[in-house]
Amino acid sequence: MYEYVGNIHFHTTASDGTATMEEAIAAAERAGLDFIILTDHNVYVPGLDGWHGKVLLLVGEEVHDPAAERPGNHYLVFDAEEEMSQFASDPQTLIDEVRLRGGFGFLAHPFERAAERFGEHEIPWRDWQVTGYAGLSIWNYMSEFKAHLTSLPAALRAAYFPQCVIRGPFPEILAKWDELLQTRHTPAIGTSDAHGITYKFGLLRRQLFPYEYLFRTVNYHALSEEPFSGELDHDKRIVYGAMRGGHGFIAYDLLGDARGFRVTAKAGDQEVGIGGTVSLTSDVLFEISSPIKARLRVILNGEMVDWAYTTRMRHRTRLGGVYRIEAQRLIGLRWRNWVYTNPIYVE
């Protein structure tokens, strides 16, 4: 397996971000990323995707309806390769039109808990009856940051010591994801939503957060049986294939580089990795390995069924269902959420 680490969902000066494309690429290179995916608001910027030094830049779009009565329904569009914002007023039409062009999309920040105090608003996904989207971003860093803007002291703590307050996906997102997984394969991604905007807190001003910082936080680790070739179309298929197929995991790499985290499931002569499906013909053996000691938790249909504090864990089962792994690191006497894998399906 080849593993490529990338940061999905950021903005540049083409919409409301503060970095130019060149600055964002330079930040990604300093952060050691393999790929980044631009998703500016309601603008598809063609012609930029490709290899820029060591970083593969892909261009998507974050589409929403600016005229909506209640803001929400931000949709991350990938691989449509053309402007899609003209379909923003109806989320189902948007989803369908993206698919007609061979693209796919993820709900950008399905739940939010914004405090209005510093001018932020909740922009959750609102139309849950839609179908045909690929999956969800279960951990959007800037949505989580916004949730801490409840008072001036809380905001300052979040702004100056984000590592103390950033915890992981909102429980309601994980619950929704587990619910969706009961009826359909629903891949998840993690995203930064980097804008690099400077916030004002009284007399203080602080950029929240620099791109390079965010590119070291919530990343997506794409897994592929094939390596990058250096050719744009080929390498794009690898990244988008991993995202669409759920062959990857979300890691808060600030707590420790999660490269090398793996899950496999074996049953008889079948063996699959993250995103795969095995049929329940005999016992299924899960093997989980972590590059760093962590509390590894096996989640079956939304409930934890096994855990161990280790770098290697086995879990044997005869139960069908949706298995995903969470990992937490013990840092400063606290368990910190670190890795969320996409599921393996036992059918």
Name the residues that contact Zn ion, by CB under 5 A.
Answer: 62, 74, 108, 193
For Zn ion, the closer of residues 74 and 295 by Cβ is 74
For Zn ion, the closer of residues 125 and 323 by Cβ is 125
CB of 123 to Zn ion, least distance (A): 6
CB of 171 to Zn ion, least distance (A): 20
CB of 41 to Zn ion, least distance (A): 7
Q: Tell me: cis bond preceding 209? Omega within 30 of 0 counts.
A: yes
What's the sign of the alpha-carbon dihedral 92, 132, 40, 174? positive
How big, in percent rounded to 5, are the helix, strand and coil portions of the chain? 20, 40, 40
CB of 192 to Zn ion, least distance (A): 9
For Zn ion, the closer of residues 140 and 341 by Cβ is 140
What's the rounded Cα separation, in Å, for the pair 323 and 182? 11
CB of 132 to Zn ion, least distance (A): 20
Assigned token pair, 73: 């329904």
Give the three-class secondary structure for 16. coil
What DSSP letter does each residue of 173-240 carry, written as one string?
A: HHHHHHHHHTTS---EEEE--B--EEEEETTEEEEE--HHHHTTSEEEEEEESS---S-HHHHHHHHH
Assigned token pair, 24: 């964002």
- The residue number with the shortest CB distance to Zn ion is 74
What are all long-range contacts of 42-49, with beta carbons under 8 Å and residues at least 24 apart? 42/15, 42/66, 42/85, 42/88, 43/14, 43/15, 43/83, 43/85, 44/77, 44/80, 44/81, 44/82, 44/83, 44/84, 44/85, 45/14, 45/21, 46/81, 46/82, 48/21, 49/232, 49/236
CB of 143 to Zn ion, least distance (A): 8
For Zn ion, the closer of residues 9 and 297 by Cβ is 9
Strand bridging mode 197-201 / 334-341: unpaired
For Zn ion, the closer of residues 49 and 193 by Cβ is 193
For Zn ion, the closer of residues 15 and 301 by Cβ is 15
CB of 129 to Zn ion, least distance (A): 20
CB of 68 to Zn ion, least distance (A): 12
For Zn ion, the closer of residues 196 and 321 by Cβ is 196
For Zn ion, the closer of residues 9 and 148 by Cβ is 9
Does residue 258 contact residue 251 with C-beta atoms inside 8 Å?
yes
Q: Nearest CA to 4 among 283, 238, 312?
A: 238
